[in-house]
Amino acid sequence: MRPRSSILVALVLALAAPSAAGDDGDDGYAAGRKKFAARDFVGAEADFSAALERGAERPAIYYSRGAARGALGEHRAAIEDYRVAIELYVGLARRDRGARFASQRSLGKCHYNRAHAYYRLGEYERAREDFSRSIELNKAIGDRQRRARKRLEPSLVKAYFGRAGSHARLGDTERAIEDYDRSIRLDAGHLKSRLSRGALRYRAGDFEAAFEDFDAVVVKAAETDPSAALQGRYYRALVHYRRGRYERAAEDFSAVLEAQPGSAKALYNRGLAYARGGQSQRAIADYSKAIVANLRIWSDNRRLRRSLAPRLGRAYFNRAEVYRSSNEPERALADLGKSLGYAPENAKAHFQRAEILSSLDRHAEALADYGRTLELQTRSAAIYARRAATHAALGDDASAVADFSAALDADRALGDRQRRLKKGLKPRLARHYRGRAAARLRLGQVAAAIADLSRALSLDPRARGALLERAAAYAAGDELAKARADCERALAESEGDEGLSARARALLEQLEEGE
């Protein structure tokens, strides 16, 4: 039930065929209309075709056959029938002034249904043009005959709704919302317009405006349209979630699940709400049910597997996150493996697995996942730094130096691209320098290590631990006076930090013993 144009912009086929003088001849057309009304579209199409073969070249028959073909999914053939009907109605209006009014109404319906056919074929620009023409024709009739305005409102509502959907598909959100507004002004109870407008507002990040639309649908449809009320409640739950109202989101998802107990999407999203609300066991239970529901569809319908794979990947990934936060690393690892089976290019899943493996001292395995993460999410300084630490844990200090250097390059490049971040990046750059310095010191590169620690201190003077690290580096290079000066400075600045103070005194004692 995620807000999507393909669901919310479901254009309604106009079933009533237009009539004009002389439409009711005994040529199969009347029989076709009866079959159409009974939803026997195959029979209706055959009768309309037979009528045309017998020479009954009337626009209403072409229109009606187009409607039957559209109902059968034969949209290209329907478009051709509507084209002929439009030409015939235009000619009729020119020849017979008395038929002009009826022809204009019929033209409005032809353009509306052809727009619907174009929409179904994904030709949204053409659909938009025909919806616009339908609106123009209906408004023109209303301008000339004020008594007809009220009767025309349902047609205008549908045409504005359809054109809004075309705007949305073409990426013109502002104009789409304007047309949904017009539709709602004409019919405050047009729930599809409210749902669709809410979806666009939701995607645009205007969550409170979206909430108003979804909430209105829930209230208005409570008694008259339970299906629409359920949709509104689902989307309202999504807004609650995005605004951090996790308990209320869970309540709305629960209401949806009372009506649709097996809804994998509602179960998954309620799991998200429970997880964010700190209800870990409930989250795990919902993710598990969502996984089972999706696996059932997976086994029953091979055609849907491509679309189901990302959903299963997300469900396993999020359950893994809860297991990890609940200190169940082995279960988290198992779920991350399954997640990657369905979504192998999920960089977050590779990174999370690497982090868990690293915490379990399974550094060689972690290294592979950090590497894959960097392949999928290049130039990430944080991941370079984490892999560098893993190299160091495995005793590969040369690789650690290379990765800390890559982390420095990535963060400096980020600061150059986004200058407002430059100041905030300084403590992170200092950590990279300290990590590289430690690896360099183990490699015997004392001068380079001292230079890195000096850069770290210039970037983050509050990193007093770097003073002791530099003191150790000076001592390794037999620069004992400088080492002692750094220790004394660290001791002087360690007020309130007993750990730093103790380490500084211990290092001073070692230096004195060495002398």
Residue 252's alpha-carbon distances to 224, 233, 483, in angstroms, are 19, 6, 63
Residue 93's alpha-carbon distances to 135, 156, 414, 422, in angstroms, are 18, 22, 66, 70
138, 170, 202 - which closes a domain:
170
Among 75, 168, 157, 187, which Cα is nearest to 128's? 168
Whole-number Å distance between alpha carbons of 183 and 197: 10
- Hunting for tokens 């809804």 — which residue is that? 263
Answer yes or no: is 434 within a domain.
no
For 163, the enclosing helix (H) or strand (E) is helix 149-169
Whole-number Å distance between alpha carbons of 318 and 312: 10
Answer yes or no: is 189 within a domain.
no
CA angle 399-470-467, nearest 5°? 125
- CB 107, CB 16: distance < 8 Å: no
- CB 354, CB 373: distance < 8 Å: yes
What tokens appear for 9 in the block? Answer: 């912009």
Which pLDDT value is given to residue 99? 57
Which pLDDT value is given to residue 417? 87
Whole-number Å distance between alpha carbons of 98 and 192: 37
Whole-number Å distance between alpha carbons of 366 and 360: 9
Answer yes or no: is 251 within a domain.
no
Instruction: Please enumerate in sequence order all residues whose Cβ is within 8 A of that of 283, keeping only pairs 6 or more positions apart, or say none.
Output: 271, 272, 274, 275, 318, 319, 322
Which pLDDT value is given to residue 2? 42
Helix (H, G, I), strand (E, B) or coil at 322: helix
- CB 16, CB 47: distance < 8 Å: no
Q: Does the reported pTM lie above 0.85?
A: no
Which pLDDT value is given to residue 421? 81
Which pLDDT value is given to residue 484? 94
109, 142, 170 - which closes a domain:
170
Answer yes or no: is 216 within a domain.
no
Q: How many structural domains compose the chain?
A: 2
Answer yes or no: is 82 within a domain.
yes
Answer yes or no: is 473 within a domain.
yes
CA angle 121-125-131, nearest 5°? 90
DSSP state of 16: S
Answer yes or no: is 375 within a domain.
no
- CB 99, CB 21: distance < 8 Å: yes
170, 192, 223 - which closes a domain:
170
Answer yes or no: is 15 within a domain.
yes
The CB density around residue 32, as the number of other CB atoms within 10 Å, is: 26
Tens of pLDDT, residues 464-479 = 899 999 999 999 999 9
Q: Which amino acid is at 302?
A: R
The CB density around residue 328, as the number of other CB atoms within 10 Å, is: 16
- Hunting for tokens 């495995």 — which residue is that? 394
- Hunting for tokens 């210039």 — which residue is that? 458
What tokens appear for 511 in the block? Answer: 């230096």
Tens of pLDDT, residues 305-344 = 999 999 999 999 999 999 999 999 999 999 999 999 999 9
Whole-number Å distance between alpha carbons of 493 and 500: 9
Whole-number Å distance between alpha carbons of 299 and 401: 49
What is the domain extent for residue 20? 1-170
Which residues of the chain are under the pLDDT cut of 50?
A: 2-24
What CATH number corresponds to the domain at position 22?
1.25.40.10
